[in-house]
Amino acid sequence: MKSGLKRLDYLFVLRPTLFYPVWTVALAGHWAQARTTPVAQGGAVSDALVMLYLAGLTLVLGASFVINQTTDIQSDRLNNKLYLIANGSIPLRAAYLETALLCVIPILTMLFFRRDLALLLAAAFLTTGWAYSLPPLSLKDRPIGGSLTNFLGGLAIFSYGWCLQAGCSLSMLLHSLPYLLAVLAVYFLTTIPDRHGDAAAAKNTAAVQWGVKKTIGAGCVAEVGAVATAVWMRDPVILTASLLALPFFIRTALKQDDASVQQTCKYSILFLSLIICIRFPVYLLFIVLVFFASKWYYRVRFAVNYPSLRT
């Protein structure tokens, strides 16, 4: 049993619950395109093929999540994170090999079928993996750099979903704005719980440089921007999700505690994900399976209750 669980480390090192925003933003891009612009020559893409393409995106973003952990070992230990590279369960050499396989195989494979999607996969990794985590840039350790890479990474993911059955266009960029601002709002808040460990590891994140109050303020401004641009673009999907999340941002601004911050991040993602399930009902099954599989793994492997919507 123990050896079987250890083999699962190489799956859960990808931090499966982090795929929720990836899948949700990609599906949101696909749905936004279907609602607003004509299908490109070649016809509509079936839901089954959408899921297959999303599998490639999942592998590449998984590579980004792994490479991020290889550069955050010190701060993850200081922040008491249950990450498998920081605690030594997965050797660095194995992590680098897994990263290479997860990144190279799907991109090379996609080149034979959809070169445009292969380029977007490469852009997603270069933004969320290389530029975000690796020196000399390591943009995650700087407020503006971290904000920029999250914004551009979100754009690559949204564009991937949009381009499943259409080409890149000005319309795509405009329709992506409320989603990217919503992503940015959550990103600002995610830097808050780790601020003490990040500061001790000399990481100058938004929460470290700006402090809790200003970082929450930045998150609230981005969330209001998401609502405003959703109204401008007449997008009921992100408008509904942003309006549902807005009271949580307001409560966080008033309370300014880590529990409120973490709940706001989780519920913001959950609201948009559940709305996306209206168009893609099978996605709800993936959400539930990933949640309870992760919960089982962390309970049996580390005796902790994770993930949880409470905090």
- Least confident range of 36-40, 194-198, 242-246: 36-40
pLDDT cut 70: percent of the chain above it: 96
What per-residue confidence (pLDDT) applies to 41? 55
Q: How many domains does the chain have?
A: 1
What per-residue confidence (pLDDT) applies to 43? 61
Task: Quote the CA–CA distance of 206 and 191 in Å, as a whole number.
Answer: 6
Q: CA-CA distances (angstroms) from residue 148 to 138, 142, 143, 295?
A: 12, 10, 9, 32
Question: How deeply is 303 buried, as exposed, middle or buried, from its count of CB atoms within 10 A (0-12, 13-18, 19+)?
Answer: exposed
For residue 278, tell me if it sits in a domain: yes
Q: What is the mean pLDDT of the chain?
A: 92
What per-residue confidence (pLDDT) applies to 197? 87
For residue 159, tell me if it sits in a domain: yes
Per-position b or e across 271-291, b if 16+ CB within 10 A of its CB: bbbbbbbeebeebeebbeebb
The answer to whether 139 and 132 have CB atoms below 8 angstroms apart is: yes
For residue 2, tell me if it sits in a domain: no
- The domain of 283 spans 12-38+45-302
Tokens matching residue 19: 């795929």
DSSP 162-202: HTTSS---HHHHHHHHHHHHHHHHHHHHHTSTTHHHHHHTT
| Per-residue pLDDT reduced to its tens digit, 109-162 | 999 989 999 999 999 999 999 999 999 999 999 999 999 999 999 999 999 999
Amino acid at 168: C
For residue 227, tell me if it sits in a domain: yes
CATH number, domain of 17, equals: 1.10.600
For residue 308, tell me if it sits in a domain: no
Closest CA to 98 of 131, 71, 65, 120: 65
| Per-residue pLDDT reduced to its tens digit, 2-54 | 556 788 999 999 999 999 999 999 999 999 999 988 776 556 778 888 899 99
- pTM for this prediction: 0.94
Checking if the pLDDT of 206 tops 50, the result is yes
Closest CA to 173 of 271, 54, 32, 273: 32
Q: What average pLDDT does this structure show over 215-219?
A: 97
Secondary structure of the chain: what % helix, strand, coil (to 5)? Answer: 80, 0, 20
For residue 307, tell me if it sits in a domain: no
Checking if the pLDDT of 1 tops 80, the result is no
The answer to whether 72 and 86 have CB atoms below 8 angstroms apart is: yes
| Per-residue pLDDT reduced to its tens digit, 283-305 | 999 999 999 999 999 998 888 88
Checking if the pLDDT of 183 tops 70, the result is yes
For residue 119, tell me if it sits in a domain: yes
For residue 92, tell me if it sits in a domain: yes
